[in-house]
């Protein structure tokens, strides 16, 4: 591809560097600066002439980070705080090197908080082998509420005998079933109760005491959630 353009065109691109290449091209044509120019040429010099303004903030405190949260704002920043992000356009996996760079610099988070995005989760687990994935509470509630209200038929994989071996109080003969006449996964009047149980479980932790000051082990918390 021929990338040569006049100095006047280069100067115009620099002056309008904050515009997208297609908009710069449109304005060039409107002004008659060069009617033979192509959009690919504009895009080439738009990239070439733009010098990086900022990539990130790398300080010693970065190496104390034990938790990373990933999410989009979606107009939730109502208080207009200044947001610091690593922003990248993922094109065929080109977003992953950003994570690899942080890996090389020694960043090893213990936790990653994200939504139910399997691409993010897979990439994080690939780079940080020991990271613990924690789903965002809002996304958990949304997924649970959607599933509880769903009438979609499903295959039930449940073995009552295996379950009773772990939890003796469960009746081994119990077997959940959905028929053509029973298409509701969870009755509407029970959905809020199910979520309240899940919400309580999500906020329990071996290092956080319950109301009487007692600390519960992770195994006890797990058993109480059944």
Domain residue limits, the chain? 7-49, 60-135, 141-224
Q: What is the pTM of this model?
A: 0.48
pLDDT of 215 strictly over 90: yes
Q: How far apart are CA 201 and CA 181, in angstroms?
A: 32
- pLDDT-above-90 percentage for the chain: 2
pLDDT of 92 strictly over 70: no
Q: DSSP character for 19?
A: S
pLDDT of 4 strictly over 60: yes
Cα 9 to chain centroid, rounded = 40
Q: How far apart are CA 26 and CA 89, in angstroms?
A: 24
Using DSSP's 3-state secondary structure scheme, residue 44 falls into helix
Per-residue confidence at 42, pLDDT binned at 50, 70, 90? confident
Cα 174 to chain centroid, rounded = 37
Q: How far is CA 139 from CA 136, 173, 190, in A?
A: 5, 34, 20
pLDDT of 96 strictly over 60: no
Per-residue confidence at 128, pLDDT binned at 50, 70, 90? confident
Whether the CB-CB separation of 216 and 204 falls below 8 Å is answered with yes
For residues 154-160, average pLDDT: 73
Q: How far is CA 111 from CA 38, 65, 68, 114, 134, in A?
A: 47, 9, 6, 10, 7
- Predicted local confidence at residue 34, as pLDDT: 64
pLDDT digits (tens, 9 = 90+) for 158-193: 788 888 888 888 888 876 655 555 556 788 888 999
Helix (H) or strand (E) holding 49: helix 39-49
């Amino acid at each position: 591809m021929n990338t040569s353009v006049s100095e006047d065109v280069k100067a115009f691109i620099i002056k309008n560097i904050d515009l997208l290449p297609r908009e710069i091209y449109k304005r060039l044509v409107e002004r008659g600066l060069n009617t033979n120019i192509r959009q690919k040429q504009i895009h080439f010099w738009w990239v070439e002439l733009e010098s990086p303004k900022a990539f990130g903030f790398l300080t010693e405190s970065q190496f104390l980070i034990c938790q990373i949260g990933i999410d989009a704002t979606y107009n939730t920043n109502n208080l207009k705080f200044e947001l610091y992000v690593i922003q990248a356009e993922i094109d065929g996996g080109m977003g992953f090197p950003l994570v690899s760079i942080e890996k090389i610099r020694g960043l090893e988070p213990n936790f990653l908080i994200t939504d139910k995005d399997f691409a993010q989760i897979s990439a994080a687990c690939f780079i940080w082998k020991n990271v613990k994935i924690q789903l965002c509470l809002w996304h958990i509630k949304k997924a649970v509420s959607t599933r509880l209200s769903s009438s979609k038929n499903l295959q039930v994989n449940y073995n009552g005998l295996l379950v009773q071996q772990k939890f003796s109080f469960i009746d081994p003969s119990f077997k959940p079933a959905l028929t053509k006449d029973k298409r509701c996964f969870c009755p509407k009047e029970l959905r809020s109760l199910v979520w309240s149980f899940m919400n309580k479980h999500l906020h329990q932790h071996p290092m956080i005491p319950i109301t009487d000051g007692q600390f519960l082990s992770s195994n006890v918390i797990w058993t109480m959630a059944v």
